[in-house]
Amino acid sequence: MRTKSGYDFGECTTENTLEPIQNALIQVFLPSGILLGTTLTDTEGNYTITGLPGGSVIVIARAMGYQTETRNVEVIRGDTITVNFLLNDNPASIRGFVTDRQTGQPISQALVQIFPVGSDVPIPPAF
């Protein structure tokens, strides 16, 4: 006898206005990082992903202009689980230029990283 796979469905809305987010990317991964399924939300912010194995999975919602949200959930074979997301607007962005201190020339493909205040980040002394 073959058992049915699990289903994941839900909706993706903005936290501030509860408006649906269309075309949000929904991804489901195993804890090992293997991608199990992906879809986009419809005009009402709804999505469905079928064929999931039973067990622990990670569901991620991403949308342009919003912070990414992640949920760890348990899928039970043959059952449908609901995973709704309320995404926060991205509060700000940073823009600038990276240049060589001596020549003033731009440095292409420089890595710029942002860390929360209070993080244990090693910062080398200025020269």
Q: How would you write the pLDDT of the chain (127 residues) with one tens digit per residue?
A: 333 445 566 777 777 788 999 999 999 999 998 999 999 999 999 999 988 888 999 999 999 888 889 999 999 888 888 999 999 888 677 889 999 999 999 999 888 877 777 766 666 655 5
Reference 49, options 25, 67, 68, 72; nearest CA is 25
* Phi-psi label, residue 92: left if phi above 0, alpha if psi -120 to 50, beta otherwise: beta
pTM: 0.67
- Which residues are bridge partners to 70 per DSSP? 60
